[in-house]
Chains A and B, each alone.
Chain A
Amino acid sequence: MNAVFITGADRGLGYALCASYLADGFTVFAGKYLCDYSLLERLGERYTERLHIVPLDVGNPESVVAAYAYTAERVGGLDMLISNAALMGRVNCSLLDPPMDIEAAWRSFSVNALGALRLAAAFMPLLSAGQTRRLCFVSSEVASVTLMKHSRSDGFPYPMSKASLNMAVRLLFCKYYPLGYTFRLFHPGWMKRMLPDGSLSEEAEYDPTDIAATARNYFDNDLGDEHRLIMLDYRGREWPY
């Protein structure tokens, strides 16, 4: 049976991916950080055997190790690792309106970039025992230095962290592609926020459930040019990173 691990799975894109993989018969290990949302628990009522909710703070190395141990006790191998968790939100970090919240840059980095790397490092043994050996990372258009030329934003920490995430994926790719692993780097577009009752905010453009479908198209299928790390968006367009 196919098994995937998804981080940041209790809402938004992560939750939509869980629901989609479960509906297709996968065993899903769903990383859950805070306890504000109970969408996963509700999903678990339908998939008692195949959904495992795993407490996980990717910003905390011990929590990643514990999540690995929890998963390894329940499954012999993982086919796919989907690193989706991210710390977003506004912080006061404007050069022209000091003081900048410098620690916010570290927090974003520790969750969004290092978190993905911690996860990949820890879960390699389970991935190597799986069938597909695929690592998927949800990034963003704001990871691209070239494209940020047009941004007027003051929120340094999030784009900085996503730029570091892309670097982390690039380094993992260089190390593990020659060993038979494949990689996905995905920009999901501007998604609506999922609220605790599962409804969506008005703001933003896309429904995470629709984006999960396009993400799966990219994550699940083999590419003709796996030897090249690319960042694709929800429409299959390639982005510089």
Chain B
Amino acid sequence: MRCAFNTALMTSAHTAFAEALAKVFVREGLRVLTPESFGVCAPESVDIYVDTSDSTDGRDVFTEGAGLDESLTRRIYEHNVLRPMTLLEAHLKALIGGQGRRLCFLSSRAALTSSALADSNWAYKLSKAALHMFLQMAANKLLPMGFTFRLFDPLCGLLAPEAAAEAAFSYFTRRRGTERDNPMRDDETRLVLRDALGGEHAW
């Protein structure tokens, strides 16, 4: 089945997962735009938007006394929260002008407050908690305008980027939960996190 989106905007295609996802988009006939491809002239119309920001850092550890590394925490927050906010604002007009109005973001099941563990990546987890809240509040504004949201955990380290990209493509481009004989049933208003193996995780 031909997917319903023609143009995908990816905020970056530099990670192995993002690169693999860009390849799947192209294979499936989508035009893929990245900041490198459109330079300073932002595109006028975009159907599906994928923010690939998902930055972790091995030095992101909490120590008693010192707490978190301040400048590293700022960098992680900038990358995972402030940048996605800025970019979404910048591209919103093109998304309104497009056909798909689908917004996709990356997160991790390790960064869900109800089940997070203290092992590592505290600044990352704090940043993702903020991102989740931003997306829920953004969804409250944008769902009535026909936007839909996808939040995805590529399970980096567990799954090959290519396999994660196939799963992401399927999750990003399908419609969620409408039944042909029951059009009242629509799952699109629920913001959830799904992982590359199809698992869905509660906040």
Contacts and interface: CB of A to CB of B under 8 A. Distances in A.
Contacts of B74: 106
Interface in B117-168: 117-118, 122, 125-134, 136-138, 140-142
A167 B125 contact: yes
A241 B203 CA distance: 8
Contacts of A146: 203
Nearest to B81: A105
Give the bracket for the number of chain B residues in contact with chain A.
35 or more
Contacts of A166: 113, 129
B169 to A, nearest CB: 26
Contacts of B122: 117, 168, 171
Contact of A105 (B85, B111, B125, B138): B85
Interface in B27-46: none
Interface string B78-117: 1001100110110010000000000000000001011011
A174 B67 contact: no
Contact of B203 (A145, A150, A171): A145
Contacts of B66: 121
Given A102-B86, A106-B82, A121-B67, A156 B116 contact: no
Contact of B113 (A61, A96, A151, A241): A241
A160 B133 contact: yes
B134 A160 contact: yes
Contacts of B140: 148-152
B130 A95 contact: no
A114 B68 contact: yes
Contacts of A149: 136, 140, 191
Contacts of A118: 67
A95 B67 contact: no
Given A145-B203, A171-B125, A95 B88 contact: yes
Nearest to A100: B89
B89 A167 contact: no
Given A95-B141, A105-B81, 12 more contacts: A94-B141, A105-B134, A109-B77, A120-B67, A149-B140, A156-B133, A161-B130, A163-B133, A167-B111, A167-B113, A171-B122, A172-B118
